[in-house]
Chain A
């Protein structure tokens, strides 16, 4: 689906300062070599299996299925991965690649902190230095993850510029990369940014849909009717969709964060409210005002609180291969609590956006139909914030 220069339809590209061009070209060349290298792939598979705990379980949510009374619901348990989210898949791949390229230092942005923790983890494992940029607002929302990163040996820099959230962390990581390139790899956490990042990150996350397909065929003897995942930049979603893109009967549904509603300014639903633009190295859809200024987006979920969406999602939206829906804070929090009480699984508030949409559609589907929801991360990190949302004065 990628053509030259990393385009997905009209989306993607390499809209970055000249200073970084040779760095992304070098990365692309290294990736094109190692992605077909047997030893590299063996090493990565071993890390996936022995270190991250793959393959992740595809769990039949029996109580949820009974309660909803419609389609059979399966949960793809990325929350059970080491570090508690799908982020580790991409990070192990990129860290290994960086090491092969002779880099000694990883930098990363993080929103909820999951990608930062994963990067700090891989850096510790592989003996690389690590600096994580995190919006100051998010360091407060996700204080525990800040501590985890420090414990793992990473330096965490609280970004105060702009809205002090994920987009500013990305901007600051890009600025840092332009100032120090030779020993540093920018371990981008989602399927966004300049080519080749959207492709590299997708390929490392595609293990999710590869496993779902095998597991569904084993358990049900057929493909699912729908795959649902939450979308910020969109890495767990593209990972969950990728091996089903050619299977036209499988509905692919991405759940964006509507925040306080898509008719308010406090939203992060890019497909619902954004328009075509150029930002953070890519052409895609972005939340922006009429004068082309990037919007200060909002969601209860720090991981979905991003004003753009990966270029491949923008393309899947254009060609109507995937559907993108917006889920509000209220719906996500309800789903967070629902899954905890119904299945004994506390999902990340990001993943709860996907659960919320399944709660809407599963009851209207036939009993012989199946839904797979990617549970991209676990919700321990969110408990204090959700308690506060419900009016309890709880702090970590």
Chain B
């Protein structure tokens, strides 16, 4: 469970990016976070993966109090998250297999377990035929699927996707969104930050709208209304 309680985030330059945000996301929920540029969506995500510390209030994710958790414990917290970025952030000198395996290496998984699990994950994202390819040999949609596979590698309970379709064409974007829905159906909590009105309206999930750092709307089965 993710629980924001009166969370505010003020940057050193004085910008108040989150202003008294309170909301709860239950385990297994699918949530779209929408809002204009500069509304505070990215800051919200950054506080979720503890890139930024909140200034006041409390933020508890899967039992981790992110205001109090010590820095050396943060890597263990991040293993509960699978993060997908708009720009994919893949290692360009590693193959598809190695990119996914890297996430497992980083948490100390054995080679045996990596060799067993990576092909399974790649088949979930339909990339079983591309294991030996390098990212430059793949389309944008395929690269994002590799990023998604990497996010799933350590079996996280929460998937956070920051504009996952921002860099790919509409047809392939639908494929990515369908994959996220598929992952959600496997019991994961999925949080998607997006500007894509069509998808938000089409999938009819919970929609949280942010404006000037505040939650201005929060509806299940809501529409893109930023």
| Pairing of A with B | no
Which chain B residues have a beta carbon within 8 Å of chain A's beta carbons?
none
Which chain A residues have a beta carbon within 8 Å of chain B's beta carbons?
none
